[in-house]
Amino acid sequence: MQTSTIVIGILALAALAYQLGRRRSLSLVGGAAGIRNLHSLPSYYGLLTAIWCAFPALAVLAVWHVADQRVIVGAVVSQMSAEVRALPAAERGLLLNDVRNVVEGSVPVAEATPAVQAAAREWRRLDGISRLAGGSFALSIAIIGAILAWRGISPALRARNRVEKIVEINLVLCSMIAILTTLGIVVSVLWEALQFFRLVPLTDFLFGTTWSPQMAIRADQVGSSGAFGAVPLFAGTLLISVIAMGIAVPFGLFSAIYLAEYADRGFRAVAKPLLEVLAGIPTVVYGFFAVLTVGPLLRTLGQHLGLDVSSESALAAGLVMGIMIIPFVSSLADDMITAVPQSLRDGAYALGATRSETIRQVVLPAALPGIVGGVLLAVSRAIGETMIVVMAAGLSAKLTANPLEAVTTVTVQIVTLLVGDNEFNSPKTLSAFALGLVLFVATLLLNIVALQIVRRYREQYE
């Protein structure tokens, strides 16, 4: 039985249960005429029956689905020969992977060894049994749940309150997912990072100046211990972010000032959404643009000026990233500028100030905290931006402040370390999680500070 069939079956049963529950509540009070004797509207009795039919059954099905694979794998292993069971965990995992591939049909049966074929047959048999058993179990739970709820219906049953309670519990659960996500991030990233710090001391990681995570496969090879000093990555990230902010802040701020204070309505209505198009373009497009257009452009420009610009330069990545962030800065600054009360401007005009004087000496100082908050948020975006730097910034972990050279960043290294099939517990893979932790903590701190500033500022003029 397919899982989707069972789910559809349960939902069909629930629909039936709704009708039955509704009918029963009505018939208990003698039809529509006696409806005032019911505590709740008939549909609530139906809903309650349907909920008791569907929820427990679906939960059972989900648990079954998660658990049965493990049970099956255990059973398949116990069926295999003794020598297979004696294999180290990693090799047994590979063997099981072969079996799984045969079961899923991604590898033709004929290509597998007889042992794997036998195991795959066993697996398929158990899988079939498990699906059938799980499906029938879930369906019977659905029927039992519906019957119990149906029998419990009486005119005095507070069906509406019960249904509403269940709805509210579900709402709470949904809003908890946000917290669970944060917890998940912290736990998973922190866990792997801690394992990494057991292999490489924290101080070496944070203050070391050489980054070469390539580990030799055998211990006796040259360079068997990689170097995990992340300072060049932090420096590269910082360099690119500084360049990006150097573009984004002036352009974003002046655009916001112009759009909020000078532009007439028509121009604003056209220019603002057009500028925001920049924020909607996927970052991979910017990356492609940086590699294909901006990089070569800077290179030829450099040649004319007698400078040696590397084809993957921090400048190209930073420039393009800055352009990407312009609308982010400008729309935040725009909000902050328009939030400044008109009375402040009127006061300045009354003293004879010109518009630009008013903006520079009254509006901007008043909006400054909010703008600073917005800029901090933009910095956190620049630090966490991935695709542009992966495509345009390069991989060489050099400790340099020269924007014309290639640098690498935290995000680039995370991507290069984790893309492809890696052994999960090598220091090389784990170091990506340590970098992820640094990234998460840094952006989190920036965000908390920035959001606090922005919030306090908003309250000031409300």
Partner 1 sequence: MSDAIDARARTSQQKVALGLRRRYRAERRFRAYGLTAVSVGLLFVVFLFASIISKGYTAFEQTFIRLDVDYAADVLDPAGTRDPAALADANYLALVHQALRAKFPGVTERAELHKLYGIVSGAAEGTLRERVLGNPRLVGSHETLWLLADDHIDMLVKGNVDRNLPASDRSVDDQELGWIDALSAAGGVAVRFNLKFFTSGDSREPEQAGVRGAVMGSLLTLLVTMVLSFPIGVAAAVYLEEFAPKNRLTDVIEVNINNLAAVPSIVFGLLGLAMFIEFFGLPRSAPLVGGLVLTLMTLPTIIITSRAALKAVPPSIREAAFGMGASPVQTVTHHVLPLAVPGMLTGAIIGMARALGESAPLLMIGMVAFIADVPKSLTDPATVLPVQVYLWASSPERAFVERTSGAIIVLLAFLLVMNGAAVYLRSRFERRW
Cβ closest to partner 1, residue 91 vs residue 104: 104
- Alpha-carbon distance of 141 to 139, in angstroms, equals 5
Measured from the CB of residue 132, what is the shortest distance to partner 1 in angstroms? 21
Cβ closest to partner 1, residue 142 vs residue 333: 333
Tokens 């903006």 locate to 359
- What's the DSSP call for residue 112? S
- Alpha-carbon distance of 433 to 188, in angstroms, equals 9
Measured from the CB of residue 50, what is the shortest distance to partner 1 in angstroms? 16
Give me the numbers of helices (H) and strands (E) for the chain, helices first please: 18, 2
Amino acid letter, residue 249: V
Measured from the CB of residue 259, what is the shortest distance to partner 1 in angstroms? 7
Cβ closest to partner 1, residue 283 vs residue 402: 283
Measured from the CB of residue 207, what is the shortest distance to partner 1 in angstroms? 23
| Residue 293, H or E segment | none
Cβ closest to partner 1, residue 132 vs residue 171: 171
Amino acid letter, residue 427: P
Tell me how far apart the terminal alpha carbons of the chain are, to the nearest angstrom: 60
Cβ closest to partner 1, residue 139 vs residue 363: 363
The torsion angles phi and psi of 221, rounded to 5 degrees, stand at: -80, 165
Cβ closest to partner 1, residue 44 vs residue 52: 44
Measured from the CB of residue 414, what is the shortest distance to partner 1 in angstroms? 6
Angle (deg, nearest 10), helices 427-460 and 410-418: 140
- Alpha-carbon distance of 66 to 76, in angstroms, equals 17
**29 Cβ partners below 8 Å, 6+ apart?**
35, 37, 38, 155
Measured from the CB of residue 26, what is the shortest distance to partner 1 in angstroms? 20
Measured from the CB of residue 424, what is the shortest distance to partner 1 in angstroms? 6
Cβ closest to partner 1, residue 176 vs residue 301: 176
Tokens 């190209």 locate to 316
Tokens 């930073």 locate to 318
